């Protein structure tokens, strides 16, 4: 058994036993106690079995991802519950010490106070919140698609493109999908927007092109008047799994490119296209993945913009928003709108429009979800259509972005 799994299991068991002290304060039934123990044990054993039987190179998905999600949910339950019980024990220990020093006898006071049912009840209630949220995120949240709509106005948008509508999706991670009907609903929801163009900003798979094969027919149904365009994301290159040879890895990437072509996606690899309407046009550019912090830096913005005039209205697809922050907004060209993904909003956070927008991923990425403006240039960071790692979403729901371009001064 891997060392990390042994250590993690020991921590898990200690938390489960410690939490049981508060649990039995609330519930006196032996059957309830047995149920508590069996649930914690089943989550642990299921996770251990999946890890031991895991085949390197398969990626963390499927049964292992679900087992890990359930295990992590119980671990969080134990941690939060344990924190409250620990605080209570500190108080109990303080009271015990005081009684000793004061020389109080047992008949005068409880020498070592027993646990209070009220505190255990509060602790369990609070611990149940993240526990329930994580399980809900696995059961429903990961397919809780949301359509987010924005209007963006520009002085130099060609008149013919006033009202032009873009649908952006990102981070499909098809290797994580486990419900055909739910994904089909998401595809239908994209088409129902009836946008002029559909733009996909990378991470079609977790690791391997074969992950997309069961979903090719569904994604082939995506349609828009001006086409469906795409770029590659960091996961699409197969860098996070093992390969028998470099040739096999290269073939996998080519297979993914061929699949996208088969689905009707026009894959932009450091190049551009023009979208035309009523004799006017805007430039659509796409770069390969460029990311900071150890992520692949394959994107070549200079190559993509070769042949594009400075005065053209430009939309750029670049998977990682750090590219926009580090390179794009400082380029001598003015990129009116950049579309990115990559962060997933960490698939966990709290968003109440107009009030709260928070996720731990904000400590890694300055631009992590939604629309931002810098130097009179805009970026939209899509929260992702799929999921990876934790097989769910809590508070940060899968996103379909609809952006309507407007010309300033036109009614």
Q: Cβ distance 224 to 198 under 8 Å?
A: yes
User: Residue 304: its pLDDT value, please?
Assistant: 97
Q: Is 114 a residue whose pLDDT tops 70?
A: no
**DSSP β-ladder status, 197-200 and 165-169:** parallel
Read off the pLDDT of each residue in 269-282 and give the average, rounded to a whole number: 97
Q: What is the band of 115 on the pLDDT scale with cuts at 50, 70, 90?
A: low
Q: With both helix axes pointing from N to C terminus, report the angle between 62-102 and 30-52 in degrees, rounded to the nearest 10.
A: 130
Residue 92 binned pLDDT confidence (cut-offs 50, 70, 90): confident
Q: How many C-beta atoms lie closer than 10 Å to residue 216's C-beta?
A: 13
pLDDT over threshold 90, residue 94: no
Distance, in Å, from the CA atom of 22 to the CA atom of 81, rounded to the nearest integer, reads 8
Q: Please, which pLDDT band fits residue 108 given cuts at 50, 70 and 90? A: very low
Q: What is the mean pLDDT of the chain?
A: 92
**pLDDT grade, residue 113 (50/70/90)?**
low
- Token pair of 104 as six digits: 């109080």
Q: Is the pLDDT of residue 275 over 60?
A: yes
| 381 pLDDT tier (thresholds 50, 70, 90) | very high
Q: Using 50, 70 and 90 to split pLDDT, how confident is the model at 364? A: very high
Q: Can you tell me the mean pLDDT for 141-169?
A: 97
pLDDT at 340 over 90: yes
Label residue 118 by pLDDT band (50, 70, 90).
confident
pLDDT above 50: residue 10: yes
3-state DSSP of 239-286: CCCCCCCHHHHHHHHHHHHHHHHHCCEEECCCEEEEEEECCEEEEEEE
* Bridge partner list, 223: none
pLDDT of 161? 97
φ/ψ (deg, to 5) at 329? -70, -15
CATH code, residues 144-407: 3.60.21.10
Decide if pLDDT at 58 tops 70.
no
Q: Count each helix (H run) and each strand (E run) in the chain, helices first.
A: 9, 14
The answer to whether residue 42 scores a pLDDT higher than 90 is: yes
Q: Is 7 exposed, middle or buried (0-12, 13-18, 19+ CB in 10 A)?
A: exposed
pLDDT at 101 over 60: yes
Question: Is the pLDDT assigned to residue 91 strictly greater than 90?
Answer: no
pLDDT, average across residues 277-298: 95
Every domain of the chain and the residues it spans: 3-139, 144-407
């Amino acid at each position: 058994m891997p060392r990390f799994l042994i250590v993690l299991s020991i921590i898990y068991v200690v938390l489960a036993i410690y939490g049981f002290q508060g649990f039995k304060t609330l519930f006196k039934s032996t059957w309830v106690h047995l149920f508590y123990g069996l649930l914690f044990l089943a989550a642990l054993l299921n996770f251990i079995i999946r890890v031991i039987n895991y085949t390197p190179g398969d990626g963390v998905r499927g049964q292992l991802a679900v087992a890990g999600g359930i295990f992590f949910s119980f671990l969080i339950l134990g941690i939060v519950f344990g924190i409250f019980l620990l605080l209570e024990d500190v108080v109990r220990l303080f009271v015990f010490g005081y009684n000793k020093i004061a020389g109080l006898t047992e008949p005068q006071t409880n020498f070592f106070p027993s646990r209070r049912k009220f505190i255990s009840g509060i602790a369990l209630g609070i611990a149940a919140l993240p526990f329930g949220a994580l399980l809900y995120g696995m059961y429903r949240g990961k397919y809780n698609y949301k359509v987010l709509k924005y209007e963006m106005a520009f002085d130099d948008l060609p008149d013919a493109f006033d009202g032009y509508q873009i649908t952006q999706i990102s981070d499909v991670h098809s290797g994580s999908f486990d419900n055909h009907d739910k994904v089909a609903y998401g595809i239908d929801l994209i088409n129902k927007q009836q946008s002029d163009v559909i733009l996909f900003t990378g991470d079609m798979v977790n690791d391997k092109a074969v992950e997309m094969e069961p979903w090719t027919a569904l994604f082939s149904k995506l349609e828009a008047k001006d086409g469906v365009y795409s770029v590659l994301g960091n996961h699409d290159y197969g860098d996070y799994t093992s390969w028998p040879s470099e040739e096999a890895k290269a073939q996998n990437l080519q297979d993914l490119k061929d699949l996208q072509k088969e689905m009707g996606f026009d894959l932009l690899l450091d190049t551009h296209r023009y979208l035309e309407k009523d004799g006017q046009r805007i430039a659509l550019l796409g770069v390969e993945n460029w990311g900071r912090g150890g992520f692949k830096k394959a994107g070549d913005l200079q190559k993509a913009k070769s042949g594009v005039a400075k005065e053209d209205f430009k939309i750029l697809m670049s998977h990682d928003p750090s590219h926009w922050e580090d390179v794009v907004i400082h380029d001598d060209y003015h990129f009116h709108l950049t579309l990115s993904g990559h962060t997933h909003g960490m698939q966990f956070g709290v968003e109440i429009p107009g009030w709260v927008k928070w996720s731990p991923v904000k400590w890694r990425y300055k631009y992590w979800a939604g629309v931002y403006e810098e130097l009179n240039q805009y970026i939209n960071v899509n929260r992702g259509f799929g999921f990876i790692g934790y097989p769910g979403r809590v508070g940060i729901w899968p996103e379909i972005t609809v952006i309507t371009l407007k010309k300033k001064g036109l009614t």
